[in-house]
Structure 1
């Protein structure tokens, strides 16, 4: 970001900053429509600075004064030519992110289609910043939490609330009680997100009392859900269907192999870089996106061959170090919110694979299938836990719920097992 400085004071030249931010948005696959909306806000910010007799430089003080002057008030009806003000909060947030960090984190609520009252935008934005910078939530967890909170705030809008200072305990009970179409696990997760949000509001003085305890508790049985696994032979049919003569096929085959053969999580696959591949030791060495724990996995021959094939004839020539990219220019790294479901669905349909009963069919189900296969082969639990990178062996035991006899046979002394977890 030093190249953007207009002088030694640390202030950033506004025009250069806006150009850089627009390019960053394009690289992160924002739509042209969204980028133009933000550019309109930034143009108005530059006009505001000129009208105030201020230098054409970005500062937090300038942004705050601009937002205070043009931010949409509760109940305000915007006049013709003033519609850009609807996007002011997001536009300034994006520019400020880029000014401070040189990158842009997508504001999750912006893309959910939910209608959050304007009077709640500031609290929502402050909580997102707190969760990212103080609680250090990983991007995917932050995205899920912000979506949960946005659902709650959209519900409050339907109940006539425009600001959070009028929130009452009965609103919280009504929110949980009206989630009748949701699975209990979903209700529990969303309730937890809202509870943390309310605690934050009380801590910051935005609420006169802590309302988090007023959210009804959703009780779930421990390890109530058995992971979905593919029937024997179906994974091999899936892999055999992949056309490895095309860039898409080479990329998808490498992704599928990492999930099916090594059990890598979706987040870890997306975050793989060239630096994680250690060819001299034939290992993949990462810090897991979910747990923050190191993990070392063997780069077995068929996985290594798939990666080499992709690197030689599938991966486009790009400057970034991410292993996997999108298939179209500018070949950016795979987006944080991309579940890669199409990678499995496309080749599954081509292979004509049908499941006898409803089950999960995405990339993560291949990880579950590997765990189930290892369990069926009486692989010791500590080995399975190490391969999957579980923080606790108790997580691995979930896979044995449908086969108590296998659990009894496979339970051995962990000290007898030498696993591949990094020291």
Structure 2
């Protein structure tokens, strides 16, 4: 699809992605998704208009082109959620392009995203989460690998880390302190308390690991000494699911959901949980936890100064 980009559009897209990385701290996976989404949009315009659009033609895109693109995407089977994500990327690109080139991208920005039902995460029950941690260590016959996998899932559930955050730890983070400084999505920094069970699990793994934990080396290693692939953690969870009879939704990420839900169920404050998870929006945290309206009203009544 890169053939559908004019030199000017290609340069503009590259400059926008560079700004997203430098100023907004967008992760590489996010930048790659943005690039694919906007490139797909530009490829459609080239076919629709009969020529690869330059930046001048991009400034003239109106509702007709936007509606045609969205109809084309839905016609080829793109789900509403995926199209909404692509539209968000296109709007972000146009906001930047409009500021740079001095035009008002109202036609693009006014397009409404298709409606879709948000899939709520499914946390594990507390006994199931504990069973996962106790069982994952049984999935490998190699003691240090078994201890490694147990340490990773303990961090996911005990500290609410994303898998990328847990696997992004280095030897400099060991031994784990009482609170970890985590750099999450968008470069957002937060402090996460580390429970004693998580520190003990990591200490046990390090005592067995055959690789020297250099300060800049990954804390969690694969069998050849490189950084642990998150797919291996997912495979360990798959085996645990089969052994415990858990649903397919019992993934490594579900442990983070469980962390949030169980904290809230035990009386944790929604704002505090938001900080622990590194969410920019409280509504994201609300959706992230299996919280019912009654529980939310309890939190509201306890926290609101006029309640």
Q: 1:266 aligns with which of 151, 155, 163?
A: 163
User: Runs of 5+ in structure 2 lacking a partner?
Assistant: none
Alpha carbons of structure 1 residues 233 and 164: separation in structure 2 relative to 1, 3 Å: farther
User: Runs of 5+ in structure 1 lacking a partner?
Assistant: 1-113, 417-423
Where do 4+ consecutive residues of structure 1 move more than 6 Å?
A: none
Contact conserved, 2:94 with 2:108, CA < 8 A, in 1?
Answer: no
Cα deviation per residue 1:131-166 (whole Å; 9 max; x = unaligned)?
223444343432332232233234345544434344
SS state of the match for residue 73, structure 2? coil
Alpha carbons of structure 1 residues 116 and 313: separation in structure 2 relative to 1, 3 Å: farther
Q: Distance in 1 between matches of 2:291 and 2:79?
A: 21
Partner of residue 367, structure 1: 256
Partner of residue 113, structure 2: 218
Query: Does 1:294 find its partner at 2:183?
Result: no
Query: Does 1:348 find its partner at 2:235?
Result: no
How far is the alpha carbon of 1:194 from its aligned partner?
Answer: 0.7
Query: Does 1:177 find its partner at 2:71?
Result: yes
Cα deviation per residue 1:107-135 (whole Å; 9 max; x = unaligned)?
xxxxxxx5553534333322222322344
SS state of the match for residue 178, structure 1? helix
How far is the alpha carbon of 1:231 from its aligned partner?
Answer: 4.0
- Cα RMSD over matched residues? 3.6
SS state of the match for residue 263, structure 2? helix
Partner of residue 109, structure 1: none
Q: How does 1:22-421 map to 2 (within 5 A)?
A: 115-117=2-4, 119=6, 120-159=9-48, 160-165=50-55, 166-167=57-58, 168-169=61-62, 170-180=64-74, 181-205=77-101, 209-211=103-105, 213-214=107-108, 216-218=111-113, 224-239=118-133, 240-242=135-137, 243=139, 245-277=142-174, 279=176, 282-290=178-186, 292-297=188-193, 299-314=194-209, 316-317=211-212, 319=214, 321-325=216-220, 327=222, 329=224, 331=226, 333=227, 340-352=230-242, 359=249, 361-399=250-288, 403-411=292-300, 413-414=302-303
TM-score normalized with structure 2 length? 0.75
Q: Distance in 1 between matches of 2:290 and 2:209?
A: 40
Contact conserved, 1:266 with 1:363, CA < 8 A, in 2?
Answer: yes
SS state of the match for residue 181, structure 2? strand
The structure whose Rg is larger is 1
Count of matched residue positions in the alignment of Structure 1 and Structure 2: 291
Q: Distance in 2 between matches of 1:202 and 1:391?
A: 26
Higher helix share: 2
How far is the alpha carbon of 1:236 from its aligned partner?
Answer: 3.3
How far is the alpha carbon of 1:400 from its aligned partner?
Answer: 6.0
Cα deviation per residue 1:82-102 (whole Å; 9 max; x = unaligned)?
xxxxxxxxxxxxxxxxxxxxx
How far is the alpha carbon of 1:196 from its aligned partner?
Answer: 1.9
Cα deviation per residue 1:258-297 (whole Å; 9 max; x = unaligned)?
1111111234223323334565x53323344446243131
Q: Distance in 2 between matches of 1:399 and 1:379?
A: 14
Contact conserved, 2:136 with 2:149, CA < 8 A, in 1?
Answer: no
TM-score normalized with structure 1 length? 0.57
